[in-house]
């Protein structure tokens, strides 16, 4: 082996040894990861339960449309995520709106994510907990749809505003829910091993 090949081989072996040492020191610990996720989700525990109340939205026609909104929310995966189902009931009792969401926390980035399914659309959005609720936004071209929630004393008020640069926000959604009870959803009804 010539001197040049020997140096290349030595550098390769050294690089491999360093990589293996780093990998051994940074072994993935699922229990620690889930614990960190669960701790991150603790600030949103106030959302858990069953909620109901009036809500309204402004339709594309400009008409104000009122519904009865319900939410059922609970932890899953040992409390490391939060699962949400929202239903909007028309005055005749039929479901006019149905949405499903999963909130998760990434301990590495200290960021919360809302993965949402609603009205045939799917999206991932940054959710930012606040002292008494949260804020999340949907980018829509130059406009942002901003949802701001305050949850305290068994009441949950959430508003949606259209925000355009240089203009005052325009309110297009509001719901005022009351907590009506606990929920064992989604953890209830698991399939037993036998």
Q: What is the mean pLDDT of residues 179-189?
A: 91
pLDDT in tens, 38-90: 999 999 999 999 999 999 999 989 999 999 999 999 999 999 999 999 999 99
Beta strands 143-152 and 155-163 are antiparallel
Name the percent of the chain lying above pLDDT 90: 80
Indicate the pLDDT class of residue 17, thresholds 50, 70 and 90.
low
pLDDT at position 21 is: 52
pLDDT mean over 19-37: 77
How far apart are alpha carbons 115 and 127 in whole angstroms? Answer: 10
| 169, 146 Cβ separation under 8 angstroms | yes
For the cut 90, the answer to whether the pLDDT of residue 28 exceeds it is no
Length of the chain: 194
Model pLDDT, residue 3: 65
The residues, any chain, with a CB within 8 Å of residue 144's CB and separated by 6 or more, are 137, 138, 162, 163
- pLDDT over 60 at 24, yes or no: no
Rounded to whole angstroms, the Cα distance separating 44 from 151 reads 10
Least confident of 2-6, 92-96, 109-113, 135-139: 2-6
**Cα 63 off chain centre by:** 29
What's the confidence (pLDDT) of residue 112? 98
Name every residue whose Cβ is closer than 8 Å to that of residue 72 and which is 6 or more positions away in sequence: 49, 50, 51, 84, 85, 183, 185
Please check the confidence at residue 35 and state whether its pLDDT lies above 70.
yes
């Amino acid at each position: 082996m010539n001197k040049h090949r020997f140096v290349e081989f030595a550098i390769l072996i050294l690089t491999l040894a360093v990589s293996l040492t780093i990998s051994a020191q940074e072994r993935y610990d699922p229990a620690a990861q889930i614990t960190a996720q669960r701790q991150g989700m603790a600030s949103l525990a106030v959302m858990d339960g069953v909620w109901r109340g009036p809500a309204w939205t402004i339709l594309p026609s400009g008409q104000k449309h009122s519904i009865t909104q319900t939410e059922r929310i609970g932890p899953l995966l040992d409390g490391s995520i939060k699962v949400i189902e929202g239903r909007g009931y028309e005055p005749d009792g039929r479901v006019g709106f149905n949405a499903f969401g999963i909130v998760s926390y990434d301990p590495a980035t200290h960021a919360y994510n809302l993965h949402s399914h609603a009205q045939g659309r799917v999206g991932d959005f940054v959710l930012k907990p606040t002292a008494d609720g949260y804020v999340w936004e949907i980018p829509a071209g130059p406009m942002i749809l901003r949802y701001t929630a305050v949850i305290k004393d068994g009441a949950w008020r959430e508003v949606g505003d259209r925000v355009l640069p240089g203009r005052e926000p325009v309110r297009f959604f509001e719901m005022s829910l009351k907590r009506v009870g606990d929920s064992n959803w989604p953890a209830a009804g698991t399939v037993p091993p036998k």
